[in-house]
Amino acid sequence: MQSLLALSGGEVVARAIGFIATAYLARSLGPAAFGIVGFAYALAGYFSLTIHQGFLDIGSRAVAREPGKAVRLAVSGTVVRLVLALGLFIALTATAWILDKPLTVKLAVMIMGLSTFALALDTSWVYKGLERNRLVGLALVIGQGLYLLVVLTAVHGPADVLFVPSAMVLGEFSAALLLGFFLLRAGRVRFHIKDGLELLKASGFPTLGIIFRSLIFTFDVVLIGLLMGSSAVGVYSASYRIVFLLLAISIAIKAAYLPSVTRAAESGPAQVATAASRSVELSSAIGFPAVIGGIVLATPLLNAVFGSDYVEGARAFQVLLLSIGFVFLSEPLHNVFVACNKLKQETAIIGTAAGVNILLNIVLIPRFGMVGAAIATAAAEGLLLIVGLAYIYRLGVKISLVPLFRAVLLAGLMGLPVAFVDTDGLGTYVGLIASVALGVGAYAAVVVIFRGVPKDLEPMLGPTLNKITHKLRPGSVSAP
């Protein structure tokens, strides 16, 4: 649990810092220039996925199984990924150059593409496999802090747009080098390139699955950029920044539980279900109140954070938040596929969802614009969750859904009083702060009253909850 808190805590702080940078950029650059950043980020992301995401799970699983080979795996995996990164950067540069876009857009894509090398150097997957996530969280915070510092110093208007991808790349390199230094500081390390090649081969299906998953989240951005222009991308990307903040939390929870789910697989489906159910319980308790609160406060939230130019994306934002609600449930299922060596089947499921997403985007964006794109994303994520859950049930991994329904109910109870706050009458910022404070207080109250605290948090919160519960419900039974 301490490992989970270290990783998720660092992830939340890092993403919060990045979110501050995003809010500043949205206002300083305006929708058109901000859209250039969003387009470059989405396009460059397709190329970086090949060397990054697949290793996160397969590499972590390999380290968790053989901790003594951690450094050796890290070095051999990094060498292989650097070679791959070079080829991918050349391909991205060629793609950017033939785009029918202004030179600024092309340069932004090319600069963003340098992140492939930073991601190749990233060894966070080793730390996660060892369940030593404190340094990972710290590195994330330092990287995002440096990014924010450069943005605040160098970006003052649309003309400074190219400083943004440069700052992103600098932050990513800083985090990767910090992790690498502490991992390799013992001195000379022997490694076998075969280890890295085996990891690359094993990560084939996970990487393909992540590429499909990325299509669900970024194909709409690229298509909006091609069909509707940079300003529309800017408005839509602003909503996505909040969505990605929540997505990062769900991914951190998933990564923190992967070692325990992997070890449980050695004992059978029932143990895997128990470990995965704990992940679903925590993910639901954290994700659903954020999703429901965001849906209720969509317009004042966008107005307060990004400015009135971005309020037109409120409807699309609400639908995107619904898709993140599905993600908070489907991410824990991924650990089950990894632990049970069913990555080929998961890839097929994600590929089907991505195909549905692409088809819906092509049909809906010309008719409904940003809202159509958001509907396509939510539909794909919903399909992914339903089919994935059905498949792991067939494996005998019967995850309990009781905590899920309880979290939905409690989050709904939280949202009721928030919906009646007059944010317009109180003013943009005061109304939003009052609504968030009311929501947090209401959620805390219903969680205590209805015993909705996830079991993995009870050892830390139990004594405090006992005192509060006894005051609210005299004679109630103490928390375990």
Is the Cα dihedral 23, 24, 30, 34 positive or negative? negative
Q: How many CB atoms sit inside 10 A of residue 91's CB? A: 14
pLDDT > 80? residue 36: yes
Distance between CA atoms of residues 329 and 405, nearest Å: 11
3-state secondary structure of 154: helix
Q: What DSSP letter does each residue of 442-469 carry, written as one string?
A: HHHHHHHHTT---GGGHHHHHHHHHHHH
Distance between CA atoms of residues 282 and 472, nearest Å: 24
* Domain boundaries of the chain, sorted by first residue: 1-202, 219-449
- pLDDT tier, 250 (very low <50, low <70, confident <90, very high otherwise): confident
pLDDT > 50? residue 119: yes
List phi, psi (to 5°) of 397.
Answer: -90, 90
List phi, psi (to 5°) of 69.
Answer: -100, 15
pLDDT > 90? residue 169: yes
What's the confidence (pLDDT) of residue 433? Answer: 81
Residues shown for the chain: 480
What's the confidence (pLDDT) of residue 112? Answer: 92
Distance between CA atoms of residues 459 and 480, nearest Å: 8
What's the confidence (pLDDT) of residue 57? Answer: 67
What's the confidence (pLDDT) of residue 55? Answer: 67
Is the Cα dihedral 123, 127, 129, 134 positive or negative? negative
Per-residue HEC secondary structure of 312-361 comes to HHHHHHHHHHHHHHHHHHHHHHHHHHHHCCCHHHHHHHHHHHHHHHHHHH
The set of residues, in sequence order, having a beta carbon less than 8 Å from that of 26 and lying 6+ positions away, is 34, 234, 238, 241, 305, 306, 307, 310
pLDDT > 70? residue 248: yes
Per-residue pLDDT reduced to its tens digit, 386-403: 999 999 998 888 887 887
Distance between CA atoms of residues 444 and 454, nearest Å: 13
Average pLDDT over residues 297-322: 89
- Which two three-digit tokens encode residue 264? 């449980």
Determine if the pTM surpasses 0.85: no
The set of residues, in sequence order, having a beta carbon less than 8 Å from that of 109 and lying 6+ positions away, is 39, 40, 43, 44, 92, 95, 96, 99
What's the confidence (pLDDT) of residue 136? Answer: 83
pLDDT > 90? residue 75: no
- Which of 112, 111, 136, 113 is CA-nearest to residue 123? 136
**Dihedral angle, C-alpha 307, 313, 318, 324, nearest 10 °:** -90
3-state secondary structure of 420: coil
Q: Among all chains, which residue has been given the structure tokens 């649309």?
A: 158
Helix-helix angle 343-394:204-228, to 10 degrees: 100
Distance between CA atoms of residues 286 and 301, nearest Å: 19
Q: How many CB atoms sit inside 10 A of residue 198's CB? A: 17
Average pLDDT over residues 251-269: 81
Q: What type of residue is 51?
A: I
SS3 percent helix, strand, coil of the chain, rounded to 5, is: 85, 0, 15
The set of residues, in sequence order, having a beta carbon less than 8 Å from that of 203 and lying 6+ positions away, is 54, 55, 57, 58, 59
Which of the two residues, 349 and 6, has the higher pLDDT score?
349
Q: What DSSP letter does each residue of 206-220 carry, written as one string?
A: HHHHHHHHHHHHHHH
Q: Are 31 and 230 in contact (CB under 8 A)?
A: yes
Distance between CA atoms of residues 240 and 238, nearest Å: 5
- Which of 183, 174, 152 is CA-nearest to residue 67? 183
CA atoms within 13 A on the CB side of 445: 12
Average pLDDT over residues 19-29: 89
- pLDDT tier, 107 (very low <50, low <70, confident <90, very high otherwise): very high
Q: Are 312 and 275 in contact (CB under 8 A)?
A: no
- Which of 7, 80, 93 is CA-nearest to residue 50? 80
pLDDT > 50? residue 478: no
- pLDDT tier, 364 (very low <50, low <70, confident <90, very high otherwise): very high
Q: Among all chains, which residue has been given the structure tokens 């194909």?
A: 219
Distance between CA atoms of residues 15 and 427, nearest Å: 27
What's the confidence (pLDDT) of residue 425? Answer: 56
pLDDT > 70? residue 469: no
Distance between CA atoms of residues 461 and 175, nearest Å: 32
For the ranges 141-145, 212-216, 235-239, the lowest mean pLDDT is seen at 212-216
Average pLDDT over residues 244-273: 82
Average pLDDT over residues 7-32: 81
- Which two three-digit tokens encode residue 421? 């706050």
3-state secondary structure of 59: helix
3-state secondary structure of 203: coil
